Amino acid sequence: MTAAVAETPVVIVGAGLAGLTVALHLADHMPVWVLAKRQLGEAATAWAQGGIVGVLGSDDSIDSHVRDTADAGAGLVDEATARFIAERSADAVTWLLDQGVPFTPDTEGPLGLHLTREGGHAVRRIAHAADATGKAIHEALLAKALAHPNIQLRERWMAVDLITSRHLKRDEPTRCYGVYALNIDAGRVETVTARAVVLATGGAGKVYRYTTNPDTATGDGVAMAWRAGCRVANMEFIQFHPTCLYHPQERSFLITEALRGEGGHLKLPNGHRFMPDHDERAELAPRDIVARAIDFEMKKHGVDHVWLDARHLGEDFLKGHFPTIHARCLQLGIDIARQMIPVVPAVHFTCGGVVTDLDGRADLPGLFAVGETGYTGLHGANRLASNSLLECVVLGRTCAARIGRDIPSPVPALPAWDESQVHNADEQVVIAHNWDELRLLMWNYVGIVRTTKRLERALHRIELLRAETLEYYANFRVTRDLLELRNLVDCAELIVRSALMRHESRGLHYSRDFPETLPVSFPTLLIPPTRRA
């Protein structure tokens, strides 16, 4: 049935930093719904350890930040986008302070904040809350949203698909009018009318077997926008964070880049510090270089992981600056003040996404995408550390301003979700099997180092998995697991097709068949069949 509201809301799909930033900037002017498919605290934002870029210090400049972003992005960063966001970084940090985010203080630092440094940055410019910045930011903004009378936070509601002009069979340029959303607890799909829909669902890390992302990262926004006819770009550039904790009891715990920024060293089992052999910046090289170096050394020496050595930093320093990492490792029997940390690369960030402008506008009027879901050209072929939280705040604010300026005409009555031809599934084994197979084949065939043959094999298997998944989708009532699998299959295909189109090695995409970097290159743009001439 169609959800009844006193006034058509803006619907934001995703309750992380990007979604909450949009919501808080809109809520004084119009009603806002925020849909979270799991618990409110499970957004990827809460998992971010490092911090947020702020060009604040007297030794820093906008030009320096833009230059570092461009260097990390390996020739594919849109400089105008990087400058736009860098120029607004100080305001973004100030806004978060105003929301009550408890950044780590330093009385001698700009804005009274302690700034740290991470790989790829020329200076200290990362505002942080110890080593749990994302959690501190998310909790502060979530508290504000929960207290706001114009924001409805809908927990355990998952968007199924966007509702567009095609659903209404209207003879008009396609636009977005709302979403079909699964109310998980009620077990039914609701029709939600919206004056604007904002996709803020994060990335697609769960398409791979090993990732630092939470279970929410199933590429929902990218897949829905693609199915609705929006372009996506640069999906081949999947960032592997160099240092995920390698432990049988903890497969997704991130060891923040700031630990290397503060002087941690990467070593082989024999104690050799290997990063200077790969790059003059050593452990402070951009993530793609560090991850590829670790992958090379692991394969060369036949080891399952390498070591991150922070013992020389001292116990007091480690407890003070990295309390979360220190405590979690200690729970697992690793005293990082006295023992090296076993680490391995894991999927961390999706650099590509739904093509948008700097107000978050996607190809369909009425549809926006912000944060990791969107693509603006900021990250190029590799994201610079701590630019992700900054992008969420800056573009979350511009997105809200644009929605506020472009109030649409009344939204027509929308058709209800039709499940008259489906029934309850009698078994879930197809979903579980296809989910596991997809993630394993992506890990083995579409990882840090790629070949054309591996990519072609991956695409063949993905096409078979797609057929099986869509047959299941067509015959049974939807569940969250089924919807996530459907979205992951779409994203996996987009990643592989993008990788096959890039005949060079650049940034996060390394191909043995095309090891050289072309002198000139462009973003990889995929156009949905519905938009092709």
| Token pair for 512 | 């043995």
- Residue 236: pLDDT band (50, 70, 90) is very high
pLDDT at 494: 98
CATH number at residue 473: 1.20.58.100
Last-in-domain residue among 346, 377, 392: 346
- pLDDT one-digit tens code per residue, 471-498: 999 888 999 999 999 999 999 999 999 9
3-state secondary structure (DSSP) of residue 72: helix
Helix (H) or strand (E) holding 245: strand 238-245
Give the per-residue pLDDT at 409: 67
Whether residue 442 lies inside any domain: the answer is yes
**Same structural domain, 302 and 390:** no
Mean pLDDT lowest among 136-140, 191-195, 295-299, 304-308: 295-299
Tell me the one-letter amino acid at 485: L
- The answer to the question of residue 164 being in a domain is yes
Residue 290 to residues 242, 325, 461, Cα–Cα distance (Å):
6, 20, 30
- Do 219 and 350 meet the contact criterion of CB atoms below 8 Å apart? yes
Residues 303-359 have pLDDT tens digits of 989 999 999 999 999 999 999 999 999 999 999 999 999 999 999 899 999 999 999
Q: How far apart (Å, rounded) are the C-alpha atoms in residues 83 and 405?
A: 24
pLDDT, tens digit, for every residue of 43-88?
A: 888 878 789 999 998 999 999 999 999 999 999 999 999 999 999 9
Confidence of residue 4 (pLDDT cuts 50, 70, 90): very low
Answer whether residue 116 is part of any domain.
yes
210 vs 80, more confident:
80
Residues 377, 272 share a domain? no
pTM: 0.90
Give the separation between CA 285 and CA 262, rounded to whole angstroms.
Answer: 13
CB contact at 8 A, 203 and 372: yes
Are 333 and 385 within one domain? no
Q: Is the pLDDT of residue 190 over 70?
A: yes
- Give the model's pLDDT for residue 3: 40
Shared domain check, 371 and 336 = no
Please, what is the end-to-end C-alpha distance for the chain in angstroms?
Answer: 36
Question: Domain limits at 377?
Answer: 1-237+351-408
Q: For the chain, give me the number of helices (H) and strands (E)?
A: 15, 21
The yes-or-no verdict on residue 145 having pLDDT over 50 is yes
Q: What six digits make up the tokens of 11?
A: 């619907």
Q: What is the pLDDT at residue 512?
A: 93
**Which residue among 323, 346, 369 closes a domain?**
346
Q: What percentage of the chain exceeds 90 in pLDDT? A: 76
What's the chain's average pLDDT?
92
Q: Quick one: 470 and 377 in the same domain?
A: no
Q: The CATH number of the domain where 273 resides is what?
A: 3.90.700.10
Domains identified in the chain, total number? 3
SS3 sequence of 170-192: CCCCCCEEEEEEEECCCCEEEEE
> pLDDT, tens digit, for every residue of 253-280?
889 888 998 999 999 999 999 999 999 9
132 and 1 share a domain?
A: yes
Looking at residue 533, its pLDDT comes to 41
> Does 167 share its domain with 120?
yes
The pLDDT confidence band at residue 531, using thresholds 50, 70 and 90, is: low
The predicted structure's pLDDT at residue 390: 97
Q: Which of 108-117, 153-162, 169-178, 443-452 has the highest mean pLDDT?
A: 153-162
Listed in sequence order, the residues at least 6 apart from 79 whose beta carbon sits closer than 8 Å to its beta carbon are: 66, 70
- The answer to whether residue 449 is domain-embedded is yes
In a domain, 520, yes or no: no
Of 22-36, 290-304, 372-386, the range with the lowest mean pLDDT is 290-304
Catalytically active residues, by annotation: 287
Residue 187, token pair as written in the block:
């077990």
H or E element in which residue 523 lies: none
More confident residue, 212 or 460: 460
Binning pLDDT at 50, 70 and 90, where does residue 7 land? low
pLDDT of amino acid 5: 38
Residue among 62, 125, 90 nearest 386 (CA): 125
**Are 332 and 361 in a shared domain?**
no
Domain shared by 297 and 439, yes or no: no
Residues 309 and 224 in one domain: no
Amino acid at 87: E
Give domain status of residue 527, yes or no.
Answer: no
In a domain, 447, yes or no: yes
**512 belongs to a structural domain:** no
The answer, yes or no, to whether residue 532 has pLDDT greater than 90, is: no
Q: How far is CA 522 from CA 120, 269, 321, in A?
A: 22, 40, 40
In this model, does residue 152 exceed pLDDT 90?
Answer: yes
- Do 380 and 402 reside in the same domain of the chain? yes
Exposure of 407 by Cβ count < 10 A (0-12 exposed, 13-18 middle, 19+ buried)? exposed
Single residue among 346, 362, 378 that ends a domain in this structure = 346
- The length of the chain is 533
One-letter amino acid of 161 = D
CATH number for the domain harbouring residue 111: 3.50.50.60
Kindly report, residue by residue over 238-258, the tens digit of the pLDDT: 999 889 999 988 777 889 888
Give the dihedral sign, CA 60/255/509/512. Answer: positive
Indicate if 335 and 470 belong to the same structural domain.
Answer: no
In order of 162, 353, 361, 529, the CA distances from 230 in angstroms are 11, 10, 11, 10
Q: What is the mean pLDDT of residues 108-116?
A: 91
